Amino acid sequence: MSKKRKISLSEEELVAALRNREKIAIEALYDMYSASLYGVISRIIIDTPTAEDVLQETFVKIWHSFSSYSTEKGRLFTWMVNIARNLAIDKLRSKDFKNQNKNQELENNVTFIDEQINTVYKPELLGVKDLVETLKPDQKVIIELVYFKGFTHVEAADELGIPLGTIKTRLRMAIQQLRKHFN
Amino acid sequence: MEDIKAYIESGILELYVLGDVSPEEKLQVEAMALNHPVIKAELDEIERSMEQYAGLNAVEPAEQLRSRVLGSILTNLADDRTFDEVIDKPKDNVVAFASPKTNNFYKYAFAACLALLLASVVGLVSMYNKLQDSNNTIAALQTDKQHFANTVSFKEGELEVLRDASFKFLKLQGTAKSPQSNLTVAWSPVKKKVWIDLKSLQVPDNDKEHQYQLWALVAGKPVDLGVFDKTSDTTDMKEMKSIASADAFAVTLEPRGGSASPTMDQMVVIGKF
């Protein structure tokens, strides 16, 4: 399995193949997006078996509800990452999962995120270090909370003790910074 | 244009991409993107940068997770696609029982054939025997029939002689050598036929070397009219050789087969018209 070449298609081809319910489509979808989606899921759910369950649920849901996706509403990844994030948050907030005490208390998140972003990033991902330096710490925290942790901006404002307007402005500035970096 | 710029700068588009908007805000953003290409382009930029950011923060899941995730999806996919075939399978199970039945049938058929063959042979032999009996009976009956037919036609000939007015009857009387003897001769000069009545024949029995011979005397010369035997069971009339005219008839005893001329001292009967 590890030697097998990963399947990669253009987004148009992939969407068409998924509409036709082709076997190759779900394989390509997994090879192209599983790591990015798992990156989001594993930051919300620390427990690896649970995070893997959520990744599986995410792909099953993508496959079964694909008819509700439309290219006019945006990019495929945006649609998929929202499914992944919502499933992960639902799992995090479910009664069963809370009883396991494997999740982080929300109150400790900020310091945890700071530790995580500095220690977990992979050295092979070139440019991450530059990127970390690109984002100011206050921008990075908001991105982490909202994008990777599934906080709403209202919750983030509450969490950080910052007015809503400021949260919105900082979030926009952070994303502007990313755009500048990627271009 | 100012409104659109303010809309972009409000940060709502970023929240939309992050899925952090109310359903009403979501519809509003989608409507704005549809009407304003600038907003659509801005959204696309935000989406791409977040996607790349996610790519940079990607975490490769465990190797075995790939087959587990694909398996859970493709198993259901396979189930959906094979559903029709499963329905057909029970139909195939019905066929198997025919062969033992066929075997029994041929056994019984062979036995029946043998029995029929035996019965036919027995029947044929018996029929052949009956047919032989019938053929023998038919042959015997045909012989009888022939005999009766001969007898009838002979009797008709005799009756004809009696009925025919042209026949003359002459009683030949015994000679001195044999005074007791006599013979009745019937002769028709018209039809040139001569019969003798063997029933009326009164002569001594002839032995095997001799036969009696009938003669006609025509202008004083004897003419041979054939030979005959005197036996105890001779009761019928006998037709002799034909002759057109005759003065007298006589019978002599001659060697078997007859003689060219009569032996006069062996004459037993004679009669004249």
Q: Are residues A94 and A17 in the same domain?
A: yes
What's residue B139's pLDDT? 95
* B26 belongs to a structural domain: yes
Which of B185-200 are b and which e, b meaning 16 or more Cβ less than 10 Å from the residue's Cβ?
bbbbeeeebbbbbbee
Both tokens of residue B241? 């050789």
Q: Does the distance separating the beta carbons of A125 and B19 come in below 8 Å? A: no
pLDDT mean over B213-221:
87
Judged by average pLDDT, the poorest of B38-47, B48-57, B197-206 is B197-206
> Do you know the residue count of chain A?
183
Q: Are residues A68 and A123 in the same domain?
A: no
What's residue B84's pLDDT? 41
User: Which of B52, B72, B77 has its CB closest to that of A23?
Assistant: B77
What's residue A52's pLDDT? 92
Q: Does the distance separating the beta carbons of A78 and B51 come in below 8 Å? A: yes
What's residue B233's pLDDT? 59
Q: What is the DSSP-derived secondary structure letter of residue B203? A: -
Greatest mean pLDDT among A51-60, A140-149, B9-18, B147-156: A51-60
Q: Are A159 and A109 in contact (CB under 8 A)?
A: yes
Both tokens of residue B192? 């040139």
What's residue A144's pLDDT? 83
Range of the domain at A116: 106-182
What's residue B88's pLDDT? 46
Domain boundary residue, one of B32, B59, B86: B59
CATH of the domain at A73: 1.10.1740.10
Domain boundary residue, one of A79, A100, A121: A100
0.85 surpassed by complex ipTM: no
Question: How many domains, chain A?
Answer: 2
What's residue B20's pLDDT? 84
Q: Are residues A33 and A94 in the same domain?
A: yes
Q: A73: buried, middle or exposed (CB in 10 Å: 19+, 13-18, 0-12)?
A: middle
Q: Which amino acid is residue B204, in one-letter code?
A: P
Q: Are B17 and B50 in contact (CB under 8 A)?
A: yes
Q: Which of A40, A172, A176 best probes binding to B when mutated, by most B CB atoms within 10 angstroms?
A: A172
pLDDT, one tens digit per residue, over B49-74 is: 888 888 888 888 888 889 888 888 88
pLDDT mean over B79-108:
57
Cα-to-chain-centroid distance, residue B124:
16
pLDDT mean over B194-202:
82
pLDDT at B195 over 80: yes
What's residue B192's pLDDT? 85
Q: Are residues A43 and A117 in the same domain?
A: no
What's residue B102's pLDDT? 58
Query: Does residue A121 sit at the B interface (CB-CB below 8 Å)?
Result: yes
CATH of the domain at A168: 1.10.10.10
pTM for the structure as a whole: 0.51
Q: Are B192 and B242 in contact (CB under 8 A)?
A: yes
Q: Which residue of chain B comes nearest to A21, CA vs CA? A: B77
Please, what's the largest Cα pairwise distance for chain B?
A: 194
How sure is the predictor about B141, in pLDDT bands with cuts at 50, 70 and 90? very high
Q: Are A50 and A97 in contact (CB under 8 A)?
A: yes
pLDDT, one tens digit per residue, over B111-139 is: 999 999 999 999 999 999 999 999 999 99
Please give the Cα distance from A90 to A75 (Å, whole number): 23
What's residue A62's pLDDT? 92
Q: Which carries the bigger pLDDT value, residue B206 or residue B36?
A: B36
pLDDT at B171 over 80: yes
SS3 call for B170: strand
pLDDT at B209 over 50: yes
Q: Are residues A82 and A43 in the same domain?
A: yes
CATH of the domain at B189: 2.60.40
Q: Which carries the bigger pLDDT value, residue B86 or residue A15?
A: A15
Q: Which carries the bigger pLDDT value, residue B1 or residue A57?
A: A57
Q: Does the distance separating the beta carbons of A179 and B65 come in below 8 Å? A: no
Cα-to-chain-centroid distance, residue B24:
99
* A3 belongs to a structural domain: no
* B223 belongs to a structural domain: yes
Mean pLDDT per 10-residue run, chain A (183 residues)?
Answer: 62 87 88 91 88 93 89 88 91 73 51 48 48 75 82 88 88 87 78
Q: Which residue of chain B comes nearest to A58, CA vs CA? A: B69
Greatest mean pLDDT among B46-55, B139-148, B184-193, B250-259: B139-148
pLDDT at B273 over 80: no
Neighbours of A48 (CB within 10 A): 12
Q: Are A165 and B11 in contact (CB under 8 A)?
A: no
Mean of pLDDT over chain B: 83
Q: Which carries the bigger pLDDT value, residue B118 or residue B27?
A: B118
* A64 belongs to a structural domain: yes
Q: Are residues A18 and A32 in the same domain?
A: yes
CA atoms within 13 A on the CB side of A158: 7
Q: Are B269 and B181 in contact (CB under 8 A)?
A: yes
Domain boundary residue, one of A100, A122, A141: A100
Please give the Cα distance from B174 to B263 (Å, whole number): 16
What's residue B163's pLDDT? 82
Please give the Cα distance from A137 to A14 (Å, whole number): 37
Please give the Cα distance from A170 to A148 (Å, whole number): 16
Q: Which residues in A lie closer than 8 A to residue B64 (C-beta atoms)? A: 1
Q: Does the distance separating the beta carbons of A178 and B49 come in below 8 Å? A: yes
What's residue A84's pLDDT? 93
* B172 belongs to a structural domain: yes
Domain boundary residue, one of A53, A82, A100: A100
Range of the domain at B202: 168-272
Query: Does residue A34 sit at the B interface (CB-CB below 8 Å)?
Result: yes
* B116 belongs to a structural domain: no
Query: Does residue A49 sit at the B interface (CB-CB below 8 Å)?
Result: no
* A5 belongs to a structural domain: no
How sure is the predictor about B164, in pLDDT bands with cuts at 50, 70 and 90? confident
Q: Does the distance separating the beta carbons of B62 and A182 come in below 8 Å? A: no
Q: Which carries the bigger pLDDT value, residue A15 or residue B273?
A: A15
